[in-house]
Structure 1
Amino acid sequence: MSRHQSRGIDPELFAPNAQSLANDRYAKAPPSACSNYEYQATSSQERYRNDHDNIYASGDNQVQQERSDYSRLTIELEHLSGYTGKGKNTIHAHPIDPDSYITCMGSAVVIGKICDSQSQELLCAHEEEINVMSLSSTGIFLASAQMPPHSGRTDRGGAFIVIWDLASGRERYRLEGFFRPVLQMAFSPDDHFLAASSEDCRVILWDMRTSELVLTKSFPTPVTVLTWGKMDEKCRRPKYSLAFAHSSQLLHGELAYDIAAMQYRLEVSTYSMPNVGIARTYLCAAITQTRTDVLSGTTAGELVVFNTESLVYRNAVPIVRNGVHSVAACGDTGYVYVGAGDGVLKKLVGRDSDWNLVGQVQLVGGITSISISPGGAQLFAGTSAGKMYHVVANTLVISELASSHLGSVTSCAFGDSSEEFATISVDGSIRLWNLSTYHLKCMTTEAVAGLCIAITKSSTHSGLIVSGWVDGWLRAYDAATAQPKWHIATAHRGEVTAVACSAQYIVSGASDGGVSIWSFATRELVLQFHEHKRAVTGVLVDVKLPHRVHSCGVDKALFIYDLKGARRIVAQQVREGAFHGITQRVDSETEIVTAGADGRLLFWDCDEPDPVQFIVDPSRLKVTCAQVSPSGRFIATCGEDCEVKLFDVGSSALLASARGHSNTVNALAWSPDERQLVSVGADSCICVWNFYQEG
């Protein structure tokens, strides 16, 4: 593989700007002992002169967190984006408001508007990603189930289910019992019961009047299909029928009250199939308008029809390719809607063994969820491509409601405007978002995971999104259209893990420990540094001296490079806590701040071997990113505790914290006007936070 060769230093490339011409140093005068800004290693074991590892001497931050003038500062979750379509039944028509729909993003239930993308109501009670939802027949209850905690802890309720009172938006019950992911949930026709299945092969039934567990039944394999059928109200306590599927079997369940035992019992029998040796795997099911047929979708793309009274097979109708992943039957119109793995949505009419195609429309991604509005005039569909659609039932005219990343969102950045920001993800996409509408403005996709992003903020260039990728490439795109502008192939041997821009050059850091300087004008390699022994996690162009670059890495080291002299001039290191983020104060101090795996924020002065200030995150978990606000008064952080926190730079006081993500928050960015924060996470979600002072 050919490597990039440095073309040498252009004398004009690192010329200081007007603000720094008078003095090529920081505001603080360096002590005479360190006038050359270079620390000498004393031994191989003590390469750097920093032994500062006793920051945990006290239980809290050394500077007491007193909430003085900023005691009323607030960060508020304004908008959430992150529908992945991975879960079943994760989009529903609102039972009352025809202009609304209900979905889930990360750990939040989201009530959105068809005609107003800015309007969102967020219901927050979960700590992990929601993977299954169910809406009751009357529209009174909504059930949402979360994934079990990543840590495997069982003391936090496991894969618990929240029952919401939809009218008030309040949590009514919290149902526990599963410690493996929930696969399916469904309310009985009268809202008396909720049935749920899990990967642990159990089905649990709860009473929605009391939240009590009614029964638990185990199956040989996980139940992947669960739906309610007829309800017999002739007796004092109604009898219910259900349809289950596990492996290649479709089962009929009858739930009835046993007077002798004074409890409900669930009896299960098998639907009869012709003896033709075909084993089908069922993915979904629905009961028709007449409640006489069960329509089951299979991996082979068939709609298999069973009669609910005789429990016999009636027909297998070839419908689509790539499997029938979702099916919904409208109780008002009798139409049946089938969603395919190849994105085709089909509208059918018929009964028993006779079915006809009414119409079809192509969506993007496999259709994992379909919901029909009351009356049947419209429906909503969610796909595995992270898209949500509104569909007019009569015409099958579609409109896209939202689009999201499908994998961990690794970085985000603002340019000069507070109205737009960009994100990059391991799904290979870069997306540019409009903050006024929260709509996706444009996007581009590569066949490789994206790791880092920066937007040029100089009038000397048209707006560019500069990005780093797993394949070692640097790629640049037009910030207005996301169209490719240029690339630097194999810019690094390893993954490009960090990128920053000045008006004249680009800085990139890699997983192999390299830091490279590239000319913006020619895109040629100007300088290379190999000081880091492990991956570089952050690079930064100095806020006052454009010929100075900072880098930090997993090797717990922080370096300053003088690009004029083509050398490293400062080296600082700790013994514990790899650095995962870097930012810089913009006031007269111009100190560098590192974010550590041990929860520490360390403030570094180039004249001092040890940190001059520190903040310890209350969670003591890894801080993945820290960003000083444009005014320089605040520093925002995020990390493994899934929270976004705001600290006062001067006093180190924790001013505010909030949770919007269900997994590690990878990065955050301030809007230039300091009114909003954007955070992105491993849960595929993007959170937009309003930042303001109350009163």
Structure 2
Amino acid sequence: MSESNEIADVPRLELEYTIGFNGHIPSGLHVHPDSEHVVYPIGCNIIIEEIKTQKQRHLTGHTNSVSCVAVSKSGRFIASGQMTHMGFTADVIVWDYEKREVYAKFTQHKVKVEALAFSPNEKFLASLGGQDDNSVVVWDLERKEDVCGSPAAMKSAGTVFAIAYANTRDDVFVTGGNGTLRIWKLDLASKKIRATDCNLGQLKRVVKCLQVSQNDDYVYCGTTSGDVLQINMNTNLLTKFGPQKNKYSLGILSMALLKSGEILIGTGNGTVAVLKGGSFAKVKSSSVSGPVTSVTLRGVGHQFFVGTASCQISYFMFSSFEPNLLHTSHADSVTDICFAWEASILFGTSSANDVRIWNAKTGKELLRIAVANMVCNAFTIAHDGRSIVTGWNDGKIRMYTPETGKLMYIINDAHNEGVTAVATTHDSSRIVSGGGEGQVRIWDVATRMMKHALKEHRGAVSSIKVRQNDAECVSASTDGTCIIWDLRRFVRNQIIFANTLFMGVCYNPSETQIITCGTDRQIGYWETFDGSQIRELEASATSSINGMDISSDGKFFVTGSEDKLIKVWLYNEGEVTHIGAGHSGKVTRLRISPDQKHIVSVSNDGAIFKWKCPNVSGQKAT
């Protein structure tokens, strides 16, 4: 059976909620015209979230990362484009907002869809291809077919980044980019679009965002130079630009027009400001963390939302003009995940620069432990709940209090090539750590001294698990070995060899067997008594298995892989019961909650997905 058929035939995991927001997408955050929901992308999904309750609905249909999002004027449609691999076409999906289902799917652009815009009466959708495509296409939404297309810019110009439709006409839209700014007119009779280049005189600009005035007299352009251009749409001439001095650092990346005639901008240095419409002078400003890639108004304009490249969503009241944090998430690859011992309400994740503790029920961030310019490769919460143990790429083990995140102590030079795995014994008296150089080291928590170093691995240690009685542990390494260590005599009990880079290892509850996963795409069952292999399962047709976890009753386990899929397996039968699809990056780690009601998976795009764990006790795959 091919993997595509396997996915089609197996029941899907139910996605409960996501933690994450792809803030790198220009204008990716939108307030729906009903003023009750926000729309934003994460991974392959479009999230529709109720502002008051933060309940989520997920639109799933893309096969790769969403690259752009647009919402129609009435809110009837949502459009999203994706990126794909070189040589392949990228889909545009139009969603029916009320039905929460696909209305139409368009495929023409190569590699990436850069931007989308709906016509004011929702008759047409204009789509802009990325750098490898460089075309603009107009789609008829009623007939669900393309009307016409054209190269987006002259060959002498660079990439086109932005597109915006007129507010009163379905036949006029604007595109802008690197050395190009064009006003397009659709000739429906001849099925052609004709472009007129705007005259900027001696001015050289890279346009990153566009907004058309309410009466279609002007188009306003935000540039990487940190100023705003005003173009007359009737004459195609530059009428003014500014501010002349004190331009905005790192460019203007997002923009919205206010009914008062003022301009709301977001900049690359995190500034959010309101400018006068005539002089472009600053009226008021504030700042947020990271480049502001989205600004979107709510309702009549008393409130607006801001999305940043640091993957945070904030909302502002125009009266106070101060940011109020709504959502936070990791902006880099999530390296590890751990539930508090026997507590399904809390889990933590690690990434570059920080470790975060989350409320598993609401998805709210409860605690953030930040270490600038460092990557936390692994972490765990001690079984007694008194400390958070973290391993970092600078070779240090840092321990923090779980309530406040205060640093308790540091073990310096714990490993020469970074700490890559950590675990604690069940009595919380010792830490077992693995490093990039391949050593497994045992540390006494009370004295913070190393008790022993175990030196048999020749590659980075990827995972460590400790037995319930604290007498043994097993370590998996990228050198193709798994070693079961005696933690009393500090010697090797058993060693397992395989032609793979081991990425994960788990004891079954009886601790008579271990299961392993790695780059050979196989799941191995091994006896702990003598290290012999009992069974081998093919877990993926094409991709490395990066993470695994086993249920507390031992009846099932879960795997996450580079093909972005989560799979639930029956332990004894070795069969897949459910598959979860939605991540746009490779799954790096995943865990089953102690109460076995949820599965939480993390990926290298910074996303955290919480799935409803199916009741698979005694169930066989269909």
Cross-structure match for 1:215 = 148
Post-superposition shift, 1:357?
4.0
1:179 and 1:468 mapped to 2: Cα distance? 42
Structure 1 residues 399 and 598: alpha-carbon distance in aligned structure 2, compared to 1, 3 A threshold:
same
Question: What is the Cα deviation at residue 185 of structure 1?
Answer: 1.3
1:499 to 413, 417, 422: 422
- Could you tell me which amino acid in structure 1 is paired with residue 393 of structure 2? V
User: How far apart are 1:468 and its partner, in Å?
Assistant: 1.7
Q: Distance in 2 between matches of 1:131 and 1:475?
A: 37
Structure 2 CA distance for partners of 1:620 and 1:528, relative to 1, 3 Å = same
Query: Partner of 2:340 in structure 1?
Result: 415
CA contact (8 A) 1:327 1:337 kept: yes
Write the distance in 2 (CA, Å) between the matches of 1:463 and 1:583: 24
2:568 alignment partner, SS class:
strand
Q: Name the counterpart of 2:354.
A: 429
When structure 1 is superposed on structure 2, of 243-252 and 552-561 the one drifting more is: 243-252
Q: Secondary structure at the match of 1:667?
A: strand
Q: Which amino acid aligns with 1:81?
A: I
TM alignment of 1:532-547, pairs within 5 A: 532-543=457-468, 545-547=469-471
For 2:612, the aligned partner's letter is N
8 Å CA contact retained: 2:11, 2:579: no
Which residue is equivalent to 1:55?
none
Q: Is the 8 A contact 1:73 1:691 kept in 2?
A: no
Q: Distance in 1 between the 2:261 and 2:64 partners?
A: 37
Describe the shift of the 1:582–1:212 C-alpha distance in structure 2 as closer, same or farther (beyond 3 A).
same
Where is the strand percentage greater, Structure 1 or Structure 2?
2
Q: Any conservation in 1 of the 2:253–2:267 contact (CA below 8 Å)?
A: yes
Of the three residues 33, 36, 50, the one matched with 1:95 is 33
- Whether contact under 8 Å (2:168, 2:215) holds in the other structure is no
Is 1:341 the equivalent of 2:268?
yes
Counterparts of 1:89 and 1:230 in 2: how far apart (Å)?
18
Aligned to 1:478: 401
Structure 1: segments with no counterpart, 5+ residues: 1-58, 66-70, 233-237
Indicate the SS of the match to 2:110: coil
**How much has 1:668 moved relative to structure 2?**
0.9
**8 Å CA contact 1:182, 1:199 repeated in 2:** no
| Equivalent position of 1:41 in the other structure | none
Task: For 2:250 and 2:433, locate their aligned partners in 1 and report how far apart those are by CA, in whole Å.
Answer: 42
Correspondence 1:367-446 to 2 at 5 A? 367-416=292-341, 417-425=343-351, 427-446=352-371
Q: Which amino acid aligns with 1:449?
A: V
Scaled by the length of structure 2, the TM-score of the pair is 0.91
Q: Secondary structure at the match of 1:406?
A: coil
* Corresponding residue SS for 1:269: strand
Name the CA shift for 1:74/1:327 in 2 (closer, same or farther; >3 Å).
closer
Aligned to 1:174: 105
With over 3 angstroms needed to count, the CA separation of the structure-2 counterparts of 1:562 and 1:609, relative to structure 1, is closer
Match of 1:31 in 2: none
Rate the CA distance shift 1:403–1:267 in 2: closer, same or farther, 3 A. same
Shift, 1:694, TM fit = 9.1
Map 1:516-531 onto structure 2 (within 5 A).
516-531=441-456
Q: Which amino acid aligns with 1:501?
A: T
Aligned amino acid, residue 579 of structure 1:
F
Residue aligning to 1:328: 256
Contact 2:10-2:579 at 8 Å conserved across structures:
no
In 2, Cα distance between equivalents of 1:620 and 1:586: 30
User: Matches of 1:377 and 1:167 in 2, distance apart?
Assistant: 26
Give 1:230 deviation, angstroms: 5.6
Post-superposition shift, 1:179? 2.3
Percent of pairs identical after alignment? 26
Letter in 1 for 2:257: A
Look up the match of 1:125: 61
C-alpha distance after superposition, 1:111-130 (max 9, x if no partner) = 1122223x111111112111
Find 1:681's aligned residue among 585, 589, 603: 603
The whole-number CA distance in structure 2 between the counterparts of 1:354 and 1:264 is 40
Task: Describe the superposition over 1:523-573 as per-residue Cα deviations: whole angstroms up to 9, x where unpaired.
Answer: 211111121122221111123x31212111122211111122221121121
The match for 1:627 among 542, 546, 549 is: 549
Q: What residue is the counterpart of 2:52 in the other structure?
A: 115
Cα distance, 1:386 vs structure 2:
0.8
CA distance in 2, matches of 1:196, 1:547: 61
* Map of 2:230 onto structure 1: 305
Structure 2, unpaired ranges of 5+: 618-622
Q: How does 1:57-206 map to 2 (within 5 A)?
A: 75-96=13-34, 98-117=35-54, 119-149=55-85, 152=86, 154=88, 158-197=89-128, 198-200=130-132, 201-206=134-139
CA RMSD of aligned residues (A): 2.4
Q: Which is worse superposed, 658-667 or 244-253?
A: 244-253
Distance in 2 separating the partners of 1:694 and 1:508: 34
Contact 2:212 2:218 in 1 (8 A): yes
User: How many corresponding residue pairs?
Assistant: 600
Asked whether the equivalents of residues 333 and 375 of structure 1 are also in contact (C-alpha less than 8 Å), the reply is no
Q: Secondary structure at the match of 1:176?
A: strand
- Please say if residues 512 and 528 of structure 2, whose CA atoms lie closer than 8 Å, have aligned partners that are also in contact: no
In structure 1, C-alpha distance between the alignment counterparts of 2:406 and 2:230, rounded to whole Å: 48
* CA distance in 2 between partners of 1:482 and 1:153 (Å): 47
Which moved further from structure 2: 133-142 or 218-227? Answer: 218-227
Give TM-score, length-normalised by structure 1. 0.82
Contact persistence 1:302–1:317 (CA under 8 A): yes
Query: In structure 1, how many angstroms separate the alpha carbons of the residues matched to 2:513 and 2:383?
Result: 22
Q: What does residue range 614-653 of structure 1 map to in structure 2 within 5 Å?
A: 614-619=536-541, 621-653=543-575
1:362 correspondence with 2:287:
yes
